Amino acid sequence: ATPMSIMVGVGRGAAAGVLIRDAAALERLEKIDTLIIDKTGTLTEGRPAVTAVVPAEGFTEDEVLRIAAAIEKPSEHPLAEAIVREAEHRAIAVPRVLGFDSPTGKGVIGMVERKRVTLGSAAFLAELSVDASPLAALADELRKDGATVVFLAVNGRVAGIIAIADPVKATTPAALAALREEGIRIVMLTGDNRTTAQAVARQLGISSVEADVLPEGKADVVARWRSEGRVVAMAGDGVNDAPALAAADVGIAMGTGTDVAMESAGITLVKGDLLGLVRARRLSEATMANIR
């Protein structure tokens, strides 16, 4: 490839909201046949809101939110922001948390008012031997509507569940349609629960779903698709997506996401919408046609 055409491509990209950090990524983009896409913050807005709070016996809705907001206060996860915002909205006074920790892709843990508090995925609570069965059936109902359900435990006992929904970005359906038209296979990749992931995938007509994937597993999924001979682009926004972005033939970060994702990707879509990827593909084709 001649450096001149690539430089022109990079310049045109910048004008169109496509930042190209790695010229080789621009060359490879026209050759991709598979696009693996993170769900939260990439296919969806990444600005989730609480849609339901269900207390376990002995708790009230506001109590569940009060404790959940306390434990989420130090977390920067979009789910944490939704919970803290809902508590503010209901004017609930939120106590302090001590000894906070947040195992990535699982949830949060700490002490609130001298009680051991855990909030996170069903798998995380199971790992800590909390019996969530009293609320399991209800959680599954909420997931079928596409909500993410997090479980709250206080002193090792389930205290309630919170359903949080994240709307699909307005531009996502059109972008996926355009990419499919070009023969690209779309795969959803998420740390979220399978039922929730499939509900969102169904809305978007995505049939390949890789759910319940821990952050360190996301890069493995990319590697697996590549080992099957596919040319893979990975699009994502989070810290948890960074290794997968680096492992792909082309890594694509959302400009609305984390710095770590952008540093790990060859291409950044400034506005964070996937229509930018359709533009980037045109640019790649035009650039490579110029060179040939």
Residue positions annotated with a catalytic role: 38
How far apart (Å, rounded) are the C-alpha atoms in residues 292 and 289?
5
Nearer to ligand ADP, 148 or 172 (CB): 148
Instruction: Please identify which residue in 27, 30, 32, 38 interacts with Mg ion, judged by CB under 5 A.
Output: 38
- Identify the residue among 5, 34, 118, 148 touching ligand ADP (CB under 6 A): 148
Task: Please state whether beta strands 157-165 and 18-20 pair in parallel, antiparallel, or not at all (unpaired).
Answer: unpaired
**120 binds, options ligand ADP, Mg ion, none, Cβ within 5 to 8 A by partner type:** ligand ADP
Rg of the chain in Å (alpha carbons): 21
Q: Toward ligand ADP, which CB reaches closer, 12 or 157?
A: 157
Identity of residue 266: G
The CA distance from 136 to 120, in Å, is 14
Angle of CA points 90, 91, 95, to nearest 5°: 115
Phi/psi for 52 (5° steps) reads -160, 145
Report if residue 251 touches Mg ion, rule: CB under 5 A: no
Q: By C-beta, is 119 or 179 nearer to ligand ADP?
A: 119
CA distance 127 to 115: 19
CA neighbor of 33 nearest in space, from 188, 172, 173, 186: 186
Residues from 22 through 41 that contact ligand ADP (CB under 6 A) = 38-40
Pick the closer one to ligand ADP by CB: 139 or 277. Answer: 139
> Which residues in the 187-246 window bind ligand ADP by CB under 6 A?
190-192, 215, 238, 240
Q: Which of 271, 274, 269, 213 is nearest to 244 (CA)?
A: 213
Stretch near Mg ion under the rule CB under 5 A, chosen from 3-11, 34-42, 60-68, 79-87: 34-42
- Which chain residues interact with ligand ADP by CB under 6 A? 38-40, 72, 75, 77, 79-80, 102, 105-108, 119-121, 148, 150, 190-192, 215, 238, 240
